[in-house]
A and B are shown apart, each in its own frame.
Chain A
Amino acid sequence: MFLPENGLILGTGGAQSLAALEEAITASETTLVTVALRRVDAAGPGLLPMLDRLGVRVLPNTAGCYTAGDAVKTAQMAREAFETDLIKLEVIGDERTLLPDGVELLRAAETLVADGFTVLPYTTDDPILARRLADAGCAAVMPAGSPIGSGLGISNPHHIELIRQMVDIPVVLDAGIGTASDAALAMELGCDAVLVASAITRSDDPAAMASAMRHAVAAGRLARAAGRIPRRFHALASTADEGIAAW
């Protein structure tokens, strides 16, 4: 299984420094961290050696790609660079929202699955598109809770629940998480994992937030397994009337 046992995948974007990122990764206790691919002169040194030192697995992504063709090419470069078939497939459709382009995404996913990749597509919270991606042979779907870096949480929890019901592959809530309760909710809705970047790296104390996310994911997963009580319009007394005193 490619997902971390503790259900928390870390993104690396937005960190103030490599040292702060390292502290956050350590505090998260994750075993899977996503990285982008950039030209060597722009990338800056030290990221990969740090990840190797921590013993975490690299999940390359195609961040910054706007077409299926660019994403496929980037994925092929990532496989060569990191010697892994894992790819977090991102095909962005719009600069302001950074939301996925479903048409290009599905096209890229089909190509990469046929080429032997283990494809984890960053997708919208559209249950039908999620099912199409699953049918195309993706190894997981990663629906956005809300736009990348927005911290708006899970805009449409019902859709995340629907996706959980409609696909048999892992569901990873990706993008939009703002704080720990959002991560807990994702797990309560039935997600198998969450991917968190900005909410940790841009917080005042990334290591502390990473720890909070780890606990939230664990709590949400436990709550999901325990089974929440049904919502009711009116109260349901938890204390029996029988034996009540008369004054």
Chain B
Amino acid sequence: MRLTINGQDRSRTESCTVAILVAELIAAQRGVAVAVNGTVVPRSTWADVDLADGDRVEVLTAAQGG
């Protein structure tokens, strides 16, 4: 399965949920938001949403600025 995660192409052998992917990227959950193919995925559904081949995932958090 090929995913684009924060602009980087990644391939995975097994399927995974949004929750699993987020846990691999960042320890914290508060202050983190996820969009798949341009649509925000509510935190309450992270464990239920399976990522599919070709998905574009953005995982964002607080940064200095603005």
Judge whether A169 is part of the interface by a CB distance below 8 angstroms: no
Task: Tell me which residues across on chain A come within 8 A of B42, comparing CB atoms.
Answer: 80
Main SS of the interface on chain A? mixed
Size of A's binding interface in residues, CB under 8 A: 38
Task: Tell me which residues across on chain B come within 8 A of A12, comparing CB atoms.
Answer: 64-66
With known contacts A80-B33, A80-B40, A81-B31, A39–B7 Cβ distance under 8 A: yes
What number of residue pairs across chains A and B have CB atoms under 8 A from each other? 98
Smallest CB separation, A74 vs chain B (Å): 8
B-facing mask of A58-72, CB < 8 A → 1, else 0?
Answer: 101111100000000
- Contacting chain B: which of A29-37, A153-161, A184-192? A29-37
Point out the residue from B26, B32, B60, B62 that lies within 8 Å of A47, measured CB to CB: B62
Sort chain B's interface into a size bin: 20 to 34
Task: Tell me which residues across on chain A come within 8 A of B66, comparing CB atoms.
Answer: 11-13, 34-36, 61-63, 88, 90, 197
Contacting pair B40 A77 (CB below 8 A): yes
Closest B residue by C-beta to A41: B6
Main SS of the interface on chain B? mixed
Judge whether A82 is part of the interface by a CB distance below 8 angstroms: yes
**Bound Cα distance from A51 to B62, whole angstroms:** 10
Contacting pair B63 A58 (CB below 8 A): no
20 A–B contact pairs at CB < 8 A? A14-B64, A35-B65, A36-B64, A37-B33, A37-B62, A37-B63, A39-B7, A39-B58, A41-B6, A41-B25, A43-B62, A47-B63, A51-B62, A58-B62, A73-B38, A76-B40, A77-B35, A77-B40, A80-B40, A80-B43
4 further A-B contacts with Cβ under 8 Å, apart from A45-B28, A48-B62, are A39-B60, A58-B62, A81-B62, A197-B66
The 7 closest A-B pairs by CB, nearest first: A36-B65, A61-B66, A63-B66, A81-B33, A38-B63, A43-B63, A77-B33
